[in-house]
Amino acid sequence: MPQSTRSATLDAGPAGPGAGPDPTAAELTEARRRLATPERLRSFFAPRSVALVGASDSSGWGQFIVASLATSGFTGPLRPVHPTRPTAFDRPTVPTLRDLDEPVDLAYVLAPTRAVESVLEDAAAAGIRNAIVLASGYGDGGGEQGRAAEASLVRKAVELDITLLGPNCLGYVNAAASVAPFGLGIVPPLRRGPLGIVLQSGALTSNVLAFARAHQVGISLLTSMGNEAVITTADVVEHLIEDDDTEVIGLFLESVRDAPRFTRLAARALERGKPIVALKVGRTEAGQRTALAHTGALAGDDAVVDAAFRQFGVIRVGSLEQLLITSGLLTSGQVPKGRRVGVVTASGGACDIIADRSTDEGVRIVDFAEATTERLKAVLPPFAAAHNPLDVTGIILAERGSAQAGLGDMALEAVVDDPGIDFVFNMLALPAVEPPDPSTIERRVAQIATSTERSPVPIVNFTATCSDLSPYAQSLLDRNGLHVLAGIEFGLTAIGQALRWQETRALRPRPPSTEQAPAPAGIPSGPWSEARSRDLVAASGVPVVPAELVTDADAAVAAADRVAGPVALKICSAAITHKSDVGGVALGVHGERAVREAFERVRAAGRAVSDDIEGVLVSPMRAPATELFVGVTVDPSFGPVLAVGLGGVFIEVLEDVSLRLLPVDATEVRRMLGELRGAAVLRGPRGTRPADLDRVAEVVARVAAAAGGLGAALQTLEINPLRVDGDSVEALDVLVVAQDGKAVSAVSAVSAVSAVSDPDPAGS
């Protein structure tokens, strides 16, 4: 069985005897991309004929593939290939692909690793341009030999113009095209629908298919990815964005290999209205170690991954159940458009659970309108309360033969007409087997379908728990065109995710840039002195507390005299980034004698650490106010990332920060400030001045622009603290660390500058 997926580096030796010069990594990447364009993948995932290379009646893999093709409804030619066996699966074989009387659209390669490249050569000679490779022992093995073999396989595929899925791959299930060259069993029936699923795991595919089938989630395409030697996850995502049969994209990710491309694709999917729902593992330190062992790829800082997903509308979920249930809601046609809910149940306990979970998800259970309440009172039993969330009581279950059996229908009709709600959350009890007299449940479901059709707002049906739907229940729902969410917990989580996705889409986030800004000339590598750091941010319009750089005590006294009040003295040296740690800071200094003593003490502390001392900065003391931390660092996968949080203990102890990939503008920063757990501090508690959040956002956006101006030389830019007192915003301490400028950052710094330097190029 193929091992778990793993990325490989393209660093092997020559492709083989007589091969020409090896292409560079960039050339190979470009060539590989040409093999996996949406146009190429459209035909790759919809073959009309398939060859099974290494086909044998004794092969478990082969048996699964033949059975899966049959389950999918595939009716095209299936040609078994084996060098010695005359038949396989009751079909005559041919010795090699070259012996086929006509080319097939896809070759599924069951050959051992050592024979794969020769099979690809046969495929090319036979005019076959698509292949799935099951064999493992490539980059998935973790050794140098396996990585070299995978690199050689990529070069071979490029040389032969063959689009290749794998190696170490089980294949795919294309329900929309009725074809499933897939190396595990598929339990029929295969449910078709608008969800495309991409899995960086092979064995999970069967579990995903089983859960989807049991919970009314239909798929367009499901593919395992293997090692992603040629076709990558991003390639398939791009294909699904263009695919007319796919409305929602579901992902199981062990790593995000090409983060800049992934974010661009996420932005495109958001713009086109195709939600991406992703289960990204490696959220914890232990999970990151496991993901690294599985993929050989950089797991990355999960906080940055989380921020990038939120920024570009990727719905991140925590389990396979959430992945499929949330996707099912998004494909159901009954997605809420607002947060005001009317709840209809037959259980008081369910109402209590829903009330709590709705609050968690930001869903508001509003009071019913007076007219709705009166309609409900007219039909409810006298002991029932006509309020939201509504418990119509268990009488609708017990009194099946009386008029009370229609109570749920009348209550639902009243609630959907309420002018103050955006959607209805409707509890539905479904039988595990067909009852002896199915008329009551069938009439009830048919009436819900009628209500759904005429309702001015979506009706989201749910069951109390996440139980598999019985075949009878599924048939009943399908006949009436209804979908039901699996359980209160998963259902409300899905609703919250869907609402946040719509709100993100309405914000129209700026897509990440594909350009790369070079490092400006003359930028020194390593930490900068604070004086130089201050000059950088000031040039971008960031207000900085006034300061004078002095080199002797007399100049320090003169500078202090120009300040009406106490001053701060700080050592200024590129070699000392944490000045207070070495005694290089003196605060609240007042009077000539105190200034001289402080100057000598601070300078001596600096000289004890380094001879590279520019001098001492003298600046006015500021009264206590709200302090923010603002920093930009370069994530190795996603590029420049802006972090904003409350300063002091909040940043160090509570780690209360909001993150965004660059570029950002002031509007986006304003949203970041609202995400902080300590956002109330900015609103001015206990008599302090509330912060002018628009002014703060403008300044933070200019900090991001200053960082962007460093281009590829950017390593770190930090302001800690940024002092905020009403509309007065000042940087009190600035740190810049640059690199040699040869590193390639993932997001254009030029765009970060333009985001604030020219917010309205049309001059409107």
Residue 398 lies in a domain: yes
pTM of the model: 0.88
Give the model's pLDDT for residue 6: 36
Mean pLDDT of 600-607: 97
Residue 5 lies in a domain: no
CB 4 within 8 Å of CB 202? yes
Mean pLDDT of 6-16: 35
Q: Are residues 141 and 244 in the same domain?
A: yes
Give the model's pLDDT for residue 754: 32
What token pair was written down for 603? 């300078």
Three-state SS at 158: helix
Distance, C-alpha 360 to centroid of its chain: 21
- Average pLDDT in the chain: 88
On the question of pLDDT at 678 being above 60, the answer is yes
Q: Are residues 323 and 356 in the same domain?
A: no
Give the model's pLDDT for residue 395: 55
Provide, rounded to the nearest whole percent, the portion of the chain with pLDDT above 70: 88
What token pair was written down for 470? 């019985």
Residue 89 lies in a domain: yes
Give the model's pLDDT for residue 753: 34
Give the model's pLDDT for residue 27: 87
pLDDT band at 510 (very low <50, low <70, confident <90, very high): confident
**Beta bridge partner(s), residue 634:** 640
pLDDT tens readout for residues 322-345: 999 999 999 999 999 999 999 999
Taking alpha carbons only, the member of 232, 266, 229, 226 closest to residue 249 is 266
- Higher local confidence (pLDDT), 241 or 437: 241
Gap between the Cα atoms of 334 and 504, Å rounded: 19
- Higher local confidence (pLDDT), 301 or 616: 616
What token pair was written down for 218? 């239909």
Taking alpha carbons only, the member of 511, 515, 512, 513 closest to residue 271 is 511
Q: Are residues 322 and 410 in the same domain?
A: no
pLDDT tens readout for residues 171-195: 999 999 999 999 998 988 899 999 9
pLDDT tens readout for residues 96-125: 999 999 999 999 999 999 999 999 999 999
Give the model's pLDDT for residue 649: 64
Residue 739 lies in a domain: yes
Q: Are residues 317 and 422 in the same domain?
A: no
**SS3 labels along 652-688:** HHHCCEEEEECCCCHHHHHHHHHHCCCHHHHCCCCCC
Q: Are residues 409 and 494 in the same domain?
A: yes
Give the model's pLDDT for residue 89: 96
pLDDT tens readout for residues 518-530: 777 778 899 999 9
Give the model's pLDDT for residue 689: 85
- What does the CA dihedral 107, 112, 114, 118 come to, rounded to 10 degrees? -20
Q: Are residues 196 and 310 in the same domain?
A: yes
Mean pLDDT of 449-455: 96
Q: Are residues 560 and 671 in the same domain?
A: no
Residue 525 lies in a domain: no
Domain with residue 649: its CATH number is 3.30.470.20
CB 632 within 8 Å of CB 722? no
Domain that holds residue 114: 25-329
Give the model's pLDDT for residue 705: 94
Domain with residue 424: its CATH number is 3.40.50.261
Q: Are residues 340 and 321 in the same domain?
A: no
In 10 A of CB 453, how many CB atoms?
10
* Residues 6 or more apart in contact with residue 591 via CB below 8 angstroms: none
Sequence-ordered alpha helix ranges (H) in 161-284: 204-214, 233-242, 259-272
Domain with residue 613: its CATH number is 3.30.1490.20
Give the model's pLDDT for residue 91: 96
Give the model's pLDDT for residue 563: 93
Domain end call among 620, 645, 666:
620
Out of 13-27, 645-659, 703-717, pick the least confident. 13-27
Residue 569 lies in a domain: yes
Give the model's pLDDT for residue 15: 37
Gap between the Cα atoms of 369 and 371, Å rounded: 5
- Higher local confidence (pLDDT), 475 or 639: 475
On the question of pLDDT at 229 being above 50, the answer is yes
Give the model's pLDDT for residue 203: 83
Residue 386 lies in a domain: yes
Give the model's pLDDT for residue 749: 37
pLDDT tens readout for residues 38-82: 999 999 999 999 999 999 999 999 999 999 999 999 999 999 999
Give the model's pLDDT for residue 743: 46
Q: Are residues 379 and 319 in the same domain?
A: no
Give the model's pLDDT for residue 442: 93
On the question of pLDDT at 17 being above 70, the answer is no
Domain end call among 311, 329, 347:
329
Q: Are residues 488 and 635 in the same domain?
A: no
On the question of pLDDT at 162 being above 90, the answer is yes
Give the model's pLDDT for residue 21: 58
Mean pLDDT of 457-465: 97
What token pair was written down for 729? 């915003």
On the question of pLDDT at 515 being above 90, the answer is no
Q: Are residues 501 and 552 in the same domain?
A: no
pLDDT tens readout for residues 366-416: 999 999 999 999 988 888 899 999 999 855 554 554 444 577 789 999 999
pLDDT band at 284 (very low <50, low <70, confident <90, very high): low
Give the model's pLDDT for residue 180: 98
* Residues 6 or more apart in contact with residue 542 via CB below 8 angstroms: 699, 702, 703, 706, 719, 731
On the question of pLDDT at 290 being above 80, the answer is no
CB 215 within 8 Å of CB 209? no
CB 629 within 8 Å of CB 567? no
On the question of pLDDT at 1 being above 60, the answer is no
- Higher local confidence (pLDDT), 747 or 90: 90
Mean pLDDT of 269-289: 80
On the question of pLDDT at 287 being above 70, the answer is no
Mean pLDDT of 302-307: 90
Mean pLDDT of 559-568: 94
Q: Are residues 223 and 307 in the same domain?
A: yes
Residue 216 lies in a domain: yes
What total number of domains does the chain contain?
4
* Residues 6 or more apart in contact with residue 117 via CB below 8 angstroms: 152, 153, 156
Instruction: Tell me the HSE value of 498 on the side-chain side, using a 13 A CA sphere.
Output: 29
Domain end call among 450, 485, 507:
507
